[in-house]
A and B are shown apart, each in its own frame.
Chain A
Amino acid sequence: MKRRLPLIIVMLTGIGMIIQYFIPHPVSKAIYKQSIDWVIIISAFYLVLGVGGIFIINYQKIKRRKEGWWLSIITLSALIITALIGIFGGIDNKSVFMDIFMYIQLPMQAAMFSLLAFYIASAAFRSFRARTPEATVLLITATIVMLGRVPIGSLIYRGLPGITEWILSTVSLAAQRGILLGVGLGSIATSMKIILGIERSYLGGGE
Protein backbone atom coordinates (compact mmCIF):
# COMPACT_ATOMS: atom_id res chain seq x y z
CA MET A 1 0.00 0.00 0.00
CA LYS A 2 2.69 2.49 1.07
CA ARG A 3 4.70 1.71 -2.06
CA ARG A 4 1.91 0.93 -4.48
CA LEU A 5 -0.44 3.87 -3.91
CA PRO A 6 2.04 6.53 -5.17
CA LEU A 7 2.80 4.34 -8.22
CA ILE A 8 -0.91 3.93 -8.96
CA ILE A 9 -1.45 7.71 -8.64
CA VAL A 10 1.46 8.38 -11.02
CA MET A 11 0.12 5.89 -13.55
CA LEU A 12 -3.47 7.15 -13.40
CA THR A 13 -2.61 10.87 -13.60
CA GLY A 14 0.01 10.23 -16.30
CA ILE A 15 -2.25 8.11 -18.54
CA GLY A 16 -5.16 10.47 -17.84
CA MET A 17 -3.17 13.49 -19.05
CA ILE A 18 -2.01 11.65 -22.19
CA ILE A 19 -5.59 10.63 -23.05
CA GLN A 20 -7.02 14.11 -22.50
CA TYR A 21 -4.46 15.55 -24.97
CA PHE A 22 -5.99 13.51 -27.79
CA ILE A 23 -9.62 14.38 -26.97
CA PRO A 24 -10.48 17.78 -28.46
CA HIS A 25 -13.69 18.13 -26.40
CA PRO A 26 -14.58 21.08 -24.11
CA VAL A 27 -14.89 18.67 -21.14
CA SER A 28 -11.37 17.34 -21.75
CA LYS A 29 -10.04 20.90 -22.03
CA ALA A 30 -11.85 21.89 -18.82
CA ILE A 31 -10.30 18.89 -17.01
CA TYR A 32 -6.85 19.91 -18.25
CA LYS A 33 -7.39 23.52 -17.11
CA GLN A 34 -8.63 22.35 -13.70
CA SER A 35 -5.67 19.95 -13.38
CA ILE A 36 -3.23 22.84 -13.94
CA ASP A 37 -4.84 24.68 -11.01
CA TRP A 38 -4.60 21.54 -8.90
CA VAL A 39 -0.89 21.18 -9.64
CA ILE A 40 -0.29 24.88 -8.86
CA ILE A 41 -2.14 24.50 -5.53
CA ILE A 42 -0.21 21.36 -4.58
CA SER A 43 3.09 23.03 -5.60
CA ALA A 44 2.30 25.93 -3.24
CA PHE A 45 2.64 23.47 -0.37
CA TYR A 46 6.20 22.72 -1.54
CA LEU A 47 6.92 26.42 -1.02
CA VAL A 48 5.53 26.22 2.53
CA LEU A 49 7.77 23.24 3.20
CA GLY A 50 10.81 24.94 1.61
CA VAL A 51 10.33 28.19 3.54
CA GLY A 52 9.86 26.14 6.72
CA GLY A 53 13.19 24.43 6.01
CA ILE A 54 14.96 27.76 5.49
CA PHE A 55 13.49 29.06 8.77
CA ILE A 56 14.64 25.98 10.69
CA ILE A 57 18.18 26.01 9.22
CA ASN A 58 18.69 29.74 9.85
CA TYR A 59 17.08 29.60 13.31
CA GLN A 60 19.40 26.75 14.33
CA LYS A 61 22.38 28.71 12.98
CA ILE A 62 21.42 31.76 15.06
CA LYS A 63 20.60 29.70 18.17
CA ARG A 64 23.92 27.83 18.09
CA ARG A 65 25.87 31.01 17.23
CA LYS A 66 27.49 29.28 14.25
CA GLU A 67 29.95 31.19 12.06
CA GLY A 68 28.15 34.00 10.22
CA TRP A 69 25.01 33.59 12.36
CA TRP A 70 24.23 37.29 12.16
CA LEU A 71 23.96 37.00 8.37
CA SER A 72 21.08 34.57 8.93
CA ILE A 73 19.32 37.36 10.87
CA ILE A 74 19.56 39.51 7.71
CA THR A 75 18.07 36.71 5.57
CA LEU A 76 15.21 35.97 7.97
CA SER A 77 14.43 39.68 8.59
CA ALA A 78 14.42 40.44 4.84
CA LEU A 79 12.23 37.39 4.21
CA ILE A 80 9.67 38.27 6.89
CA ILE A 81 9.57 42.01 6.13
CA THR A 82 9.21 41.52 2.34
CA ALA A 83 6.53 38.85 2.75
CA LEU A 84 4.53 40.88 5.27
CA ILE A 85 4.75 44.10 3.23
CA GLY A 86 3.55 42.15 0.19
CA ILE A 87 0.72 40.31 1.96
CA PHE A 88 -0.62 43.30 3.95
CA GLY A 89 0.39 46.20 1.70
CA GLY A 90 -0.55 44.71 -1.68
CA ILE A 91 1.52 43.92 -4.74
CA ASP A 92 0.29 46.49 -7.27
CA ASN A 93 2.75 48.52 -9.32
CA LYS A 94 2.81 51.52 -6.96
CA SER A 95 3.18 49.49 -3.75
CA VAL A 96 6.23 49.45 -1.44
CA PHE A 97 6.48 45.73 -2.24
CA MET A 98 7.11 46.53 -5.91
CA ASP A 99 9.66 49.20 -4.90
CA ILE A 100 11.49 46.51 -2.91
CA PHE A 101 11.42 44.29 -5.98
CA MET A 102 12.48 47.03 -8.41
CA TYR A 103 15.17 48.68 -6.28
CA ILE A 104 16.51 45.85 -4.10
CA GLN A 105 15.93 42.46 -5.71
CA LEU A 106 16.20 43.35 -9.41
CA PRO A 107 19.43 45.45 -9.25
CA MET A 108 21.18 42.85 -7.10
CA GLN A 109 20.08 39.99 -9.37
CA ALA A 110 21.18 41.87 -12.49
CA ALA A 111 24.53 42.77 -10.89
CA MET A 112 25.02 39.16 -9.76
CA PHE A 113 24.38 37.83 -13.29
CA SER A 114 26.57 40.49 -14.90
CA LEU A 115 29.42 39.45 -12.57
CA LEU A 116 29.52 36.28 -14.65
CA ALA A 117 30.68 38.33 -17.66
CA PHE A 118 34.01 38.88 -15.91
CA TYR A 119 34.39 35.27 -14.79
CA ILE A 120 33.32 33.81 -18.15
CA ALA A 121 35.87 36.06 -19.87
CA SER A 122 38.67 35.04 -17.51
CA ALA A 123 37.71 31.34 -17.72
CA ALA A 124 37.66 31.57 -21.53
CA PHE A 125 41.08 33.20 -21.55
CA ARG A 126 42.48 30.27 -19.57
CA SER A 127 40.66 27.41 -21.30
CA PHE A 128 40.15 28.55 -24.91
CA ARG A 129 43.44 27.46 -26.33
CA ALA A 130 43.49 26.43 -29.94
CA ARG A 131 45.02 23.01 -29.22
CA THR A 132 42.87 21.02 -31.65
CA PRO A 133 41.08 22.01 -34.88
CA GLU A 134 37.70 21.56 -33.09
CA ALA A 135 38.74 23.88 -30.23
CA THR A 136 39.96 26.40 -32.81
CA VAL A 137 36.56 26.34 -34.52
CA LEU A 138 34.86 26.94 -31.16
CA LEU A 139 37.21 29.85 -30.42
CA ILE A 140 36.74 31.45 -33.85
CA THR A 141 32.93 31.06 -33.74
CA ALA A 142 32.71 32.56 -30.25
CA THR A 143 34.87 35.52 -31.34
CA ILE A 144 32.80 36.12 -34.50
CA VAL A 145 29.49 35.95 -32.57
CA MET A 146 30.78 38.29 -29.85
CA LEU A 147 32.12 40.85 -32.33
CA GLY A 148 29.16 40.48 -34.67
CA ARG A 149 26.70 41.59 -32.03
CA VAL A 150 28.39 44.90 -31.13
CA PRO A 151 28.91 48.04 -33.26
CA ILE A 152 32.70 47.61 -33.29
CA GLY A 153 32.21 44.34 -35.19
CA SER A 154 30.77 46.06 -38.25
CA LEU A 155 33.55 48.67 -38.04
CA ILE A 156 36.18 45.89 -38.25
CA TYR A 157 34.39 44.15 -41.12
CA ARG A 158 31.03 45.24 -42.50
CA GLY A 159 29.83 41.69 -43.15
CA LEU A 160 30.46 40.45 -39.59
CA PRO A 161 26.87 40.91 -38.29
CA GLY A 162 25.61 39.00 -41.34
CA ILE A 163 28.06 36.14 -40.74
CA THR A 164 26.98 36.03 -37.08
CA GLU A 165 23.32 35.79 -38.08
CA TRP A 166 24.14 33.07 -40.61
CA ILE A 167 26.07 31.02 -38.01
CA LEU A 168 23.22 31.34 -35.49
CA SER A 169 20.43 30.60 -37.96
CA THR A 170 22.11 27.78 -39.90
CA VAL A 171 25.08 25.83 -38.49
CA SER A 172 24.36 26.48 -34.80
CA LEU A 173 20.64 25.87 -35.36
CA ALA A 174 21.35 22.48 -36.98
CA ALA A 175 23.41 21.25 -34.01
CA GLN A 176 20.93 22.65 -31.48
CA ARG A 177 18.08 20.98 -33.34
CA GLY A 178 19.92 17.66 -33.23
CA ILE A 179 20.52 18.06 -29.50
CA LEU A 180 16.88 19.09 -28.89
CA LEU A 181 15.64 16.04 -30.80
CA GLY A 182 17.74 13.90 -28.48
CA VAL A 183 16.44 15.75 -25.43
CA GLY A 184 12.84 15.32 -26.64
CA LEU A 185 13.27 11.57 -27.17
CA GLY A 186 15.02 11.29 -23.79
CA SER A 187 12.31 13.11 -21.89
CA ILE A 188 9.58 11.02 -23.57
CA ALA A 189 11.43 7.83 -22.62
CA THR A 190 11.89 9.06 -19.01
CA SER A 191 8.22 10.06 -18.77
CA MET A 192 7.17 6.62 -20.04
CA LYS A 193 9.43 4.97 -17.46
CA ILE A 194 7.89 7.10 -14.69
CA ILE A 195 4.31 6.33 -15.74
CA LEU A 196 5.02 2.60 -16.03
CA GLY A 197 6.69 2.57 -12.60
CA ILE A 198 10.16 1.63 -13.90
CA GLU A 199 11.70 4.92 -12.80
CA ARG A 200 10.97 5.38 -9.07
CA SER A 201 13.77 7.62 -7.84
CA TYR A 202 11.26 10.40 -7.04
CA LEU A 203 9.89 8.17 -4.26
CA GLY A 204 13.19 8.27 -2.39
CA GLY A 205 15.26 5.37 -1.14
CA GLY A 206 13.35 4.10 1.89
CA GLU A 207 9.74 3.35 2.63
Chain B
Amino acid sequence: MSTNIWIWIAALLTLAIYSFLYKDNIVYKIAEYLLVGVSIGYSIAITWYNVVIAKMVVPIRDQHNFLIIIPILIGMFMFARFSKKHGWLSKIPISFVIGWGAGVAIPLQFETSIVEHVKNTIAIPWFGGNILLLVNAIIIFIGVIATLIYFYFSTPHKGVIGKVANLGIWYIMIAFGASFGYTVMARISLFIDRAQFLLHDWLGLIH
Protein backbone atom coordinates (compact mmCIF):
# COMPACT_ATOMS: atom_id res chain seq x y z
CA MET B 1 0.00 0.00 0.00
CA SER B 2 1.24 3.45 -0.93
CA THR B 3 2.62 5.84 1.71
CA ASN B 4 2.46 8.84 -0.62
CA ILE B 5 -0.18 11.34 0.58
CA TRP B 6 -0.92 12.48 -3.00
CA ILE B 7 -1.63 8.90 -4.11
CA TRP B 8 -4.08 8.57 -1.20
CA ILE B 9 -5.81 11.83 -2.14
CA ALA B 10 -6.08 10.75 -5.80
CA ALA B 11 -7.37 7.28 -4.81
CA LEU B 12 -10.01 8.59 -2.40
CA LEU B 13 -11.19 11.20 -4.91
CA THR B 14 -11.41 8.51 -7.63
CA LEU B 15 -13.54 6.37 -5.31
CA ALA B 16 -15.65 9.43 -4.48
CA ILE B 17 -16.43 9.88 -8.19
CA TYR B 18 -17.21 6.16 -8.62
CA SER B 19 -19.59 6.31 -5.66
CA PHE B 20 -22.04 7.84 -8.17
CA LEU B 21 -22.49 4.37 -9.65
CA TYR B 22 -24.36 3.46 -6.47
CA LYS B 23 -26.42 6.67 -6.40
CA ASP B 24 -26.04 10.46 -6.37
CA ASN B 25 -24.59 11.03 -2.89
CA ILE B 26 -22.89 13.71 -0.80
CA VAL B 27 -19.36 12.30 -1.24
CA TYR B 28 -19.76 12.50 -5.03
CA LYS B 29 -21.15 16.04 -4.76
CA ILE B 30 -18.15 17.19 -2.69
CA ALA B 31 -15.76 15.70 -5.30
CA GLU B 32 -17.78 17.28 -8.11
CA TYR B 33 -17.71 20.79 -6.61
CA LEU B 34 -14.03 20.38 -5.75
CA LEU B 35 -13.27 19.42 -9.37
CA VAL B 36 -15.06 22.53 -10.65
CA GLY B 37 -13.10 24.80 -8.30
CA VAL B 38 -9.72 23.17 -8.99
CA SER B 39 -10.29 23.21 -12.79
CA ILE B 40 -11.10 26.92 -12.82
CA GLY B 41 -8.19 27.68 -10.46
CA TYR B 42 -5.92 25.73 -12.81
CA SER B 43 -7.14 27.74 -15.82
CA ILE B 44 -6.55 31.02 -13.95
CA ALA B 45 -2.95 30.15 -13.05
CA ILE B 46 -2.16 28.85 -16.55
CA THR B 47 -3.70 31.98 -18.13
CA TRP B 48 -1.71 34.13 -15.71
CA TYR B 49 1.62 32.69 -16.90
CA ASN B 50 0.85 31.93 -20.54
CA VAL B 51 -1.15 35.04 -21.37
CA VAL B 52 -0.76 37.80 -18.77
CA ILE B 53 2.99 37.33 -18.22
CA ALA B 54 4.08 35.85 -21.57
CA LYS B 55 1.88 37.89 -23.92
CA MET B 56 1.23 41.12 -22.04
CA VAL B 57 3.93 41.89 -19.43
CA VAL B 58 7.01 40.50 -21.22
CA PRO B 59 6.35 42.11 -24.66
CA ILE B 60 5.71 45.54 -23.09
CA ARG B 61 8.41 45.42 -20.38
CA ASP B 62 11.23 43.59 -22.20
CA GLN B 63 10.54 44.03 -25.91
CA HIS B 64 8.88 47.47 -25.70
CA ASN B 65 6.12 46.21 -28.01
CA PHE B 66 3.51 48.82 -27.10
CA LEU B 67 1.12 47.56 -29.79
CA ILE B 68 0.04 44.95 -27.22
CA ILE B 69 -1.75 47.74 -25.35
CA ILE B 70 -4.39 47.80 -28.16
CA PRO B 71 -5.80 44.27 -27.55
CA ILE B 72 -5.59 44.90 -23.78
CA LEU B 73 -7.77 48.00 -24.23
CA ILE B 74 -10.12 46.11 -26.57
CA GLY B 75 -10.36 43.30 -24.00
CA MET B 76 -11.12 45.80 -21.24
CA PHE B 77 -14.23 46.86 -23.15
CA MET B 78 -15.68 43.53 -21.98
CA PHE B 79 -16.26 45.11 -18.58
CA ALA B 80 -18.48 47.76 -20.17
CA ARG B 81 -21.31 45.22 -20.05
CA PHE B 82 -21.77 46.15 -16.38
CA SER B 83 -22.77 49.66 -17.47
CA LYS B 84 -26.24 50.28 -18.88
CA LYS B 85 -25.12 53.33 -20.84
CA HIS B 86 -21.88 51.94 -22.30
CA GLY B 87 -22.84 48.25 -22.41
CA TRP B 88 -22.70 48.20 -26.23
CA LEU B 89 -18.90 48.67 -26.05
CA SER B 90 -18.59 45.07 -24.80
CA LYS B 91 -19.57 43.97 -28.32
CA ILE B 92 -16.31 45.36 -29.73
CA PRO B 93 -14.02 42.59 -28.36
CA ILE B 94 -16.64 39.97 -29.29
CA SER B 95 -16.78 41.38 -32.85
CA PHE B 96 -13.01 41.31 -33.15
CA VAL B 97 -12.74 37.67 -32.08
CA ILE B 98 -15.77 36.55 -34.15
CA GLY B 99 -14.55 38.41 -37.26
CA TRP B 100 -11.04 37.02 -36.84
CA GLY B 101 -12.37 33.48 -36.38
CA ALA B 102 -14.64 33.74 -39.43
CA GLY B 103 -11.85 35.17 -41.59
CA VAL B 104 -9.38 32.48 -40.54
CA ALA B 105 -11.97 29.69 -40.88
CA ILE B 106 -12.91 30.30 -44.52
CA PRO B 107 -9.60 29.53 -46.29
CA LEU B 108 -8.57 27.01 -43.62
CA GLN B 109 -11.82 25.03 -43.80
CA PHE B 110 -11.73 25.17 -47.58
CA GLU B 111 -8.26 23.69 -47.61
CA THR B 112 -8.55 21.11 -44.81
CA SER B 113 -12.21 20.06 -44.96
CA ILE B 114 -12.91 20.34 -48.66
CA VAL B 115 -9.83 20.31 -50.91
CA GLU B 116 -7.98 17.63 -48.90
CA HIS B 117 -11.02 15.36 -48.55
CA VAL B 118 -12.01 15.70 -52.20
CA LYS B 119 -8.39 15.07 -53.25
CA ASN B 120 -8.14 11.93 -51.11
CA THR B 121 -11.53 10.67 -52.30
CA ILE B 122 -10.91 10.98 -56.03
CA ALA B 123 -7.31 9.76 -55.83
CA ILE B 124 -8.24 6.21 -56.88
CA PRO B 125 -5.10 4.20 -57.56
CA TRP B 126 -6.03 3.01 -61.08
CA PHE B 127 -2.48 2.10 -61.98
CA GLY B 128 0.28 0.69 -59.85
CA GLY B 129 -1.82 -0.04 -56.77
CA ASN B 130 -2.95 -3.55 -55.85
CA ILE B 131 -6.52 -4.70 -56.41
CA LEU B 132 -7.48 -4.45 -52.70
CA LEU B 133 -6.44 -0.79 -52.56
CA LEU B 134 -8.47 -0.14 -55.71
CA VAL B 135 -11.59 -1.83 -54.25
CA ASN B 136 -11.23 0.10 -50.98
CA ALA B 137 -10.80 3.40 -52.86
CA ILE B 138 -13.97 2.70 -54.88
CA ILE B 139 -15.90 1.82 -51.67
CA ILE B 140 -14.75 5.13 -50.14
CA PHE B 141 -15.64 7.06 -53.31
CA ILE B 142 -19.16 5.59 -53.46
CA GLY B 143 -19.61 6.11 -49.70
CA VAL B 144 -18.67 9.80 -49.81
CA ILE B 145 -21.03 10.46 -52.74
CA ALA B 146 -23.87 8.46 -51.11
CA THR B 147 -23.43 10.25 -47.74
CA LEU B 148 -23.39 13.67 -49.42
CA ILE B 149 -26.53 12.83 -51.40
CA TYR B 150 -28.27 11.69 -48.22
CA PHE B 151 -27.68 15.18 -46.75
CA TYR B 152 -28.75 16.90 -49.98
CA PHE B 153 -32.31 18.01 -49.37
CA SER B 154 -32.84 20.34 -52.35
CA THR B 155 -34.13 17.38 -54.42
CA PRO B 156 -36.72 14.84 -53.17
CA HIS B 157 -35.15 11.50 -52.29
CA LYS B 158 -36.95 9.58 -55.03
CA GLY B 159 -35.80 7.32 -57.87
CA VAL B 160 -32.03 7.05 -58.34
CA ILE B 161 -31.36 9.85 -55.80
CA GLY B 162 -33.49 7.99 -53.25
CA LYS B 163 -31.61 4.74 -53.82
CA VAL B 164 -28.20 6.44 -53.47
CA ALA B 165 -29.42 8.31 -50.37
CA ASN B 166 -30.57 4.97 -48.94
CA LEU B 167 -27.09 3.57 -49.53
CA GLY B 168 -25.80 6.67 -47.71
CA ILE B 169 -27.92 5.70 -44.66
CA TRP B 170 -26.15 2.30 -44.57
CA TYR B 171 -22.75 3.94 -44.72
CA ILE B 172 -23.74 6.42 -41.98
CA MET B 173 -25.11 3.61 -39.78
CA ILE B 174 -21.84 1.70 -40.08
CA ALA B 175 -19.90 4.90 -39.27
CA PHE B 176 -22.10 5.60 -36.22
CA GLY B 177 -21.74 2.01 -35.02
CA ALA B 178 -17.95 2.20 -35.43
CA SER B 179 -17.83 5.57 -33.62
CA PHE B 180 -19.96 4.17 -30.81
CA GLY B 181 -17.76 1.09 -30.42
CA TYR B 182 -14.65 3.26 -30.53
CA THR B 183 -16.02 5.65 -27.87
CA VAL B 184 -17.06 2.81 -25.55
CA MET B 185 -13.59 1.27 -25.81
CA ALA B 186 -11.94 4.65 -25.10
CA ARG B 187 -14.03 4.99 -21.91
CA ILE B 188 -13.26 1.40 -20.93
CA SER B 189 -9.54 2.18 -21.37
CA LEU B 190 -9.91 5.11 -18.99
CA PHE B 191 -11.66 2.85 -16.49
CA ILE B 192 -8.91 0.22 -16.79
CA ASP B 193 -6.34 2.99 -16.19
CA ARG B 194 -8.17 4.10 -13.03
CA ALA B 195 -8.57 0.50 -11.81
CA GLN B 196 -4.87 -0.08 -12.43
CA PHE B 197 -4.06 3.07 -10.43
CA LEU B 198 -6.18 1.90 -7.50
CA LEU B 199 -4.94 -1.69 -7.50
CA HIS B 200 -1.29 -1.02 -8.39
CA ASP B 201 -0.26 2.49 -7.33
CA TRP B 202 -2.50 2.75 -4.28
CA LEU B 203 -3.10 -0.74 -2.86
CA GLY B 204 -0.14 -2.50 -4.49
CA LEU B 205 -2.24 -5.60 -5.14
CA ILE B 206 -1.09 -6.09 -8.73
CA HIS B 207 2.42 -5.76 -10.12
Contacts and interface: CB of A to CB of B under 8 A. Distances in A.
Interface of A: 2, 5-7, 9-18, 21-22, 34-35, 37-49, 51, 54, 68, 71-72, 74-83, 85-87, 91, 97, 99-118, 120-121, 124, 134-135, 137-146, 149-150, 166-185, 187-188, 190-192, 194-195, 202-204, 207
A175 B96 contact: no
Contacts of A112: 17, 35
B44 A79 contact: yes
B105 A188 contact: yes
Interface string B144-179: 111110110000000000000000111111111111
Given A44-B75, A178-B148, A188-B105, A74 B177 contact: no
B8 to A, nearest CB: 9
Nearest to A132: B173
Given A7-B95, A83-B45, A177-B121, A172 B51 contact: no
B51 A41 contact: yes
Contact of B173 (A38, A75, A137, A203): A137
A60 to B, nearest CB: 16
A91 B191 contact: no
B173 to A, nearest CB: 5
Given A105-B39, A107-B11, 6 more contacts: A38-B96, A79-B38, A110-B190, A142-B180, A173-B140, A174-B175
Contacts of B1: none
A43 B176 contact: no
Nearest to A78: B37
Contact of B103 (A14, A124, A166): A14
Contact of A87 (B34, B48, B145, B178): B48
B contact face: mostly helix, strand, loop, or mixed: helix
B184 A121 contact: yes
Contacts of B56: 41
A9 B191 contact: no
A145 B148 contact: no
A117 B20 CA distance: 13
A2 B95 CA distance: 12
